Amino acid sequence: MHPSNFTAGIWQVPHAYCTFKIRFFFLSCMYTVVDIETTGTGATGNRITEIALFRVEGERITDSFSSLVNPGCEIPPFITGLTGITTAMVRQAPPFEALADQIEAFTQGQVFVAHSVNFDYPIVKKEFERCGRTFSRKKLCTVRLSRSVFPGLRSYSLGKLCNSLDIPLTDRHRAAGDAKATALLLSRILAQPEGQTAVQGFLNARSQEATLPPHLPRETYERIPHAPGVYYFRDKAGRILYIGKAIDLKKRVLGHFYDASARERSLCRETAAIDFELSGSDLVALLMESAAIKTHFPPFNRAQKAIRPAYGLFSYPDQAGIRHLALNRLRKGQQAHKVFFSLADARAQLESVCTRFSLCAKYCHLQEGVEHCGHFRVPRCQGICRGEESVTQYNARVDLALDSLRDTGSHLLIAEQGRSPGEQAIVWMEGGQYRGYGFLPEDTGITHPEELEAWIQPQRHNPETQRILESYLSKHSKNVRRVAPLAP
């Protein structure tokens, strides 16, 4: 060998030889292209009604298998309208359990390929789990591969992709027809010089390509930062599908892609873009998320669309004239001294009030069935439960405690971390009502609420924002300060 090909005892493999080896490896690698038809999500789950497998070796289809599958339940009419598969057609078909050995053997040691693999693969895997078996294969998505190898096409749905590339597609929405077209598509991809590089990258365990939604460009995911904020999943037309918040945006978004639930898979299949806004802190992210959900009402968001108050703080005198404070579920038409949206937050606030005003844990119903108070988080009272304090004195402190909860007319500023160094986030409350949030330089001194107008983005107060802020105030009082309006 020429000395230039030998350095420090290590063979230097010529570039052309490496290229040949890579090409040989991916052409010799075997793939199983899979397509399934299902019952759609329902009470019994997404069950397979038909499955087709095509083996691709190099750039050729070498074997195939297909069968109807008895799902053990009725097929909904809208699924029959789409696929043509009726309940009568599958009644005598074998259940998946009877086909499991054949499917496992057919795919053994091969790469599981599908057009939108994150739909087909979890359903097949779940069917194996129902049989008490495990199923694990490497995955490839021909949607994502096609976007990489054939960029710039108007659509990457199987039908339009086959039309653009002149690939025959028959028996649309039947497993064998769609699987064969996908197998031909894979062969076309493998035949492209850049196709082998794309497959190599996608099969790299660290690439996460098989995890990303089929229509989401990788560069879109890559630009999401590890920072607090709000994210927006959008479809191809730009419509918002889902809004969420996170302390770590990138980690949380990736969590959606790993979630195997039918709802998450449906969300990911429709996702074509992800936008985000930085918040600097979890509190501001929660407030931004709440406002965005109530503005856009995304179809995949369930929480925060209609939240009602849950608990109220009430007061009443007993036969001895001692005023009690008690928490109870709030019913329509009731007037409470304060409303809470979490029982844990309500109890924490009541414990704080008892401590600040030396109230009795027994008469605040933090302890039941005791003769004298002795709560482990609330100091002993000044003696009302032991007959050492007058009812008048005790009730006066109860009135002071209730006045402090009303807090009408006061302005509260919550200071939180900003989106970048040197910036702080401010949340403004007036009279217990949420007014808005903003970002300003850390060295900006705010001494009066009138100075906030230039910095604050006005927001609406609603039960959800009240719940968020009440919970925060009960745990992070050190971040809160009061400011007084300018004198008239």
Is residue 173 part of the annotated active site? The answer reads yes
pLDDT band (50, 70, 90) for residue 206: low
CA–CA gap between residue 199 and residue 106 (Å, rounded): 21
Q: What is the pairing mode between strands 323-329 and 60-68?
A: unpaired
Give the C-alpha separation, 468 to 473, whole Å.
9
Residue 24: pLDDT over 60: no
CA distance 356 to 379: 10
End-to-end CA distance of the chain: 94
Regarding predicted confidence, which is higher, 259 or 33?
A: 33
Q: Where in 282-336 does DSSP place strands (E)?
A: 311-317, 323-329
Tell me 384's DSSP state: G
Residues 6+ apart with CB under 8 A from 167: 161, 181, 184, 185, 188
Find the mean pLDDT for residues 416-438.
90
pLDDT computed for residue 326 by the predictor: 96
DSSP one-letter code for 452? G
Name the band, by pLDDT with cuts 50, 70 and 90, for residue 244: very high
Cα distance between residue 39 and residue 76, in whole Å:
7
Q: What is the mean pLDDT of residues 162-180?
A: 93
Condensed to tens digits (0 to 9), the pLDDT of residues 27-55 reads 456 899 999 999 986 545 689 999 999 99
**Confidence (pLDDT) at 484:** 67
Comparing 2-6, 134-138, 335-339, the range with the smallest average pLDDT is: 2-6
Q: What are 111's strand-pairing partners?
A: 31
Q: Is the pTM of this model over 0.85?
A: no
| pLDDT above 50 for 279 | yes
CA distances from 328 to 16, 36, 309, 339, 340 (A): 77, 52, 11, 10, 10
Of the candidates 15, 26, 14, 13, the residue with the CA atom closest to the CA atom of residue 204 = 26
Q: 11 and 18 in contact (C-beta within 8 Å)?
A: no
> What are the structural domains of the chain?
15-203 (3.30.420.10), 218-296 (3.40.1440.10), 311-406 (no CATH), 411-483 (no CATH)
Mean pLDDT of the 284-297 span: 93
pLDDT per residue as tens digits for the range 401-415: 998 887 555 788 899
Q: Nearest CA to 51 among 165, 149, 146, 128?
A: 128
Per-residue pLDDT band for 328 (boundaries 50, 70, 90) equals very high
Tell me how many degrees the CA angle 110-208-49 measures, rounded to the nearest 5.
50
Backbone dihedral angles phi then psi of residue 446, each to the nearest 5 degrees:
-110, 115
Q: Collapsing DSSP states into helix, strand and coil, what is residue 217? A: coil
Range with lowest mean pLDDT among 170-179, 278-287, 470-479 = 470-479
Give the tokens for residue 372. 């004298």
From CA 237, how far away is CA 227, in angstroms rounded?
27
Closest CA to 230 of 169, 138, 175, 304: 304
Task: Give the three-state DSSP class for 119.
Answer: helix
Nearest of 397, 327, 328, 329 to residue 360 by alpha carbon: 397
Question: What are the backbone dihedrals phi and psi of residue 390, each rounded to the nearest 5 degrees, phi first?
Answer: -75, 155
CB atoms within 10 A of CB 438: 17
Paired tokens of 202 = 């996608």
How crowded is residue 197: how many other Cβ atoms within 10 Å of its Cβ? 15
Per-residue pLDDT averaged across 317-340, rounded?
89
Average pLDDT over residues 467-486: 80
Tell me which H or E stretch contains 193.
helix 193-203
Do residues 137 and 110 touch, judged by C-beta distance below 8 A?
yes
Q: What pLDDT was estimated at residue 307?
A: 53
Residues 77-122 pLDDT 10s: 989 998 999 999 999 999 999 999 999 999 999 999 999 888 899 8
| Predicted pLDDT of residue 182 | 96
| Catalytic residue of the set 173, 296, 324, 372 | 173
Mean pLDDT computed over every residue of the chain: 86
Average pLDDT value for residue range 432-440: 89
User: Taking residues 414-433, what's their average pLDDT?
Assistant: 90
Percent with pLDDT over 70 in the chain: 88
**pLDDT band for position 262 (50/70/90)?**
confident
Dump strand ranges (E) for 369-442. Answer: 411-417, 423-430, 433-441
Is 194's pLDDT higher than 90?
no
Q: Write out the two tokens for 385.
A: 């439960």
- pLDDT band at residue 443 under the 50/70/90 scheme: confident
Residue 71 has pLDDT above 50, yes or no: yes
Torsion angle (degrees, nearest 10) of CA 100, 105, 106, 108: 120
Residue 306 pLDDT greater than 90, yes or no:
no
Helices and strands in the chain: count of H runs, count of E runs: 16, 18
Cβ atoms of 413 and 427 closer than 8 Å: yes
Rounded CA gap, 480 and 487, in Å? 22
Q: Is the pLDDT of residue 282 over 90?
A: yes
